[in-house]
Structure 1
């Protein structure tokens, strides 16, 4: 029997409210609480916002709460948190919002300022959302880092229109606006109680941008009154002074958006975002016109009558004589530059004139790994941390994968096998999961990015058909899905989406097992599907038509006719985009670079796209080769970030990503059959070579060292330093029964034994 929640009680996990099952509290504030709650009919979780019980009878708060749902529900923008439903239950108003799996910008900024390119992207996306809201007559009034959400791919979404109101509404809500708002980011006109429009939100977004670049808001003070006076009277500070390396153009853009008088700001958010993007670009292809600064400011209480007249940015004053402090700082900088150059040469071996970078754009990028970090590899284990099974009744296990805290195991082959969720720290079995009737042991498992679900390929019995099986790691259940194949399907993930491919076609599921989209082979003359782990796209070749389809919704983002079928269609994914081999004529580039939306951002003439093994993990950034050269590119801009040239090597080939690195093979000459293996860092071009003739695969990295599996049992596990030296090796004893050495979350597992 379901408990009915009393009117004034708090909601707890398991409670049912308005049909939604409460999973956990996400946050709370003056307006009420926000919960993660399971939808009553659809296979998803929503963010359920419930008005505080003591405020339910307040007409002012009720109007504001309903206004948020009605107006935001009418917006259609990928950077605004969607409103799914609203209502009133047991005297409490509620709104069901899109649940964004990630973190807010305020949390991100607690780790420090953001790269310039990431700042430009986030500001552009939120500016777009604010412009669309303004077109609907909506002013947000509370733009700040805490109300900007970043999903797992970095997409920015604007949240919490909780104190927003329709432009022109007679009730300005000034009586409660500052209680609910944040003074650090509020515009002068809002603080003074004047009428506000979309330019007020632009000012708040500029305050947020300033903090993204420098690590602090532009205006501060010991008391709220001092902060308010700074917003109203103090000229904006210099971001370039707080963050050396920024151009004066960045200050010009921010100062215009932070003008005290709204009339002196940009016409709209998109214009502000575009100007900031240009000013932060590391190497613009053509000179951009300078952004005119605002004129001398007067109080918003008495706005100037003259229209804003553009002017050019004045050149910097002549430098003064250098002080002794300046000389000391210069000497320190020189030492650091020499040290950085030494590190570069040490990591790369002998320097060649062909090496370039890493560029400033590369240095500004936020490092995003494609796989999680292993536990520390600094010390060689003297004995397994733990061995499993930890109780009778389980046979020699297979390790299927792992999360940050759990190892997923199965107790050997056969229709009586069971899944076990094992605590990664202690080896204790936390839950066993019975497989559906008639199912043999699963294989080829993948785990969603939110670590709540896994998908495995399973067979009903030897020689019979196979299907994907969804494992709910939270509820501890397993069920068979509806894609029947002759052989085990290949399973990969991209975020929280699963991709199952076989000769029968491709089916994409979300983390609940619901179908997103599919391309069946039935009725198709030839069908070839290629997938890569964590890639934003899937390759589908039907006859002579090659396409790349977005994993999340199946939309075709790239299409190409080819008479060579799948053999002539070579593409390579990365976390935020992809590259395609398109030929090598004078009029057609050798490699085309795209962002994840399918927008063509650049070409790499003469560079080669490596054909990856099916289901191999993508790298953080696209890495291309050209004979003995390797280079990384930014999918967002198409720019080369760094390149390394080694004439003594005949050919490099990209294999798979791990951490922020990518595994490569090296061929010393055209006739060589023995390959060497190595790695490159996607962000700075540092690299190393594995001096290992029995190399099998890279297991992962702890961020400093790299674990490798070999074919030589006494040195089955080999750990390398980034300079190429061997840290330690280990292998099984002669009495050990060895099945597999695999990485599962932070652990390296040898069958049922955790080694690291």
Structure 2
């Protein structure tokens, strides 16, 4: 939007000199102070008639005015004039960190100095009960001698009043937002600023933000679920010791982060002693233009849950083939693609081939969609527990098992009546589920959901009695689980780059196998005695092939960006890997162990399943609330 006040005009007693910038929520002007011979930065917000917002904003601005720190821009006055809120702050002659980073990364010593000054200011504010909530390069101002934080406290009020209207563009603030700010009713404290400062420092030393989603939904999903990238892989000039520092600063769970910003800054400073010589140190010398110091002001959006905001917006996903998947029934050898609308945030899918039916968990809607695979329509929507995510079918018993992540329970669905017949309490944060019908056992992993840690265990369920018979400790953050029905053995994919092998008779782990790059999901081919494990820790996006007899990894196949789910079709010798950030499915020839095709699907593919009778692939796309159907 353009500026609405011209030079010489007056607003709230301030004389406008010139505009400094404009954003979606208001304008920023250089103005003469109404009382003293000085210039101020006058920020004027759009009016929306919300009296409660006005009261909260003025209260926050008053609290902000009490902050007296050399690294925090001072607030001189605040008020409401002609229905518009405004705040007058110290005018800083210089530029912002965003302008410097637009030219590339800066040398580690300079980055550590900036980090230390910002950390000192944030801890000072946290000690007085104020959380910034919008730390990013555009809100860090640089002068010849000082580093200052601006917009302190404004985000706390304003981000909760904005309606998110589009996910096709990524607001700058969401590049740095802490995971807990995306969750409903989550406690937000100073550790949210630690996370945002970690994202900012990551960009300072690498030139890029940690997560680079193509749209807002992908970006939010990355903050909540994606592995933390290693800075030394983005910038080989950095010491590897810095990887551990950023891993802690960017932990999904606030309890795993540094307790204070200063603690984070000290840890980063210690890495200077192990730093290799940097090529060309970059001196921070901001341009002497006032406009750049406040660019991008007030680009904030209301804090929502991924369930309540992002997926509630319609996203038009494109489904198309990227490269060959031979099929004589479709044009040019590309697969025929059908898109089926389901509930909000579909994140897992399982097929019942005998009944020609698929079951899709809708995490945001707390439902399961029942798909008729013949007509390719939703024939029923079944309410289940809170945040359903894992799903498995026991065709012989006509039951479906759904993990309800926020209820710490498993819903049991009768496929005939299409109703929930039982809710079985299990461990904390149930995520994955698999069934061994021959021994009447289901396995449920207690992993991590949206940064909230589980209990690192697997619950064994007697599917006849409907009770938990054992709770088995496994690796850290277990998510995926699969069963070798021939040997009646369960395999658990753990986020700590291991696979736990469970003996159901002993009700214990009898082997732990290291795999590459973290483990998010696993699929087992009992016929070939192999398991396929996908993971993406530290951007090591691979599919590990695990030989079940020797319990050794015999191949590591490169996958797409953030592989998150895998399904097998032994009849065609194929494995299908859903690449969440790449919006694709990789097709692997399990005999040659190579990727033969990459298929474009919907937004944020999260789950994948195969109908072994028709060799049709079904992909649950969390981002656009659809299922992509890929037919040969």
Bigger strand fraction:
2
Greater Cα radius of gyration, structure 1 or 2? 1
TM-score (normalised: structure 2) = 0.42
Q: Which has the higher contact order (CA 8 A, sep 6+)?
A: 2
TM-score (normalised: structure 1) = 0.35
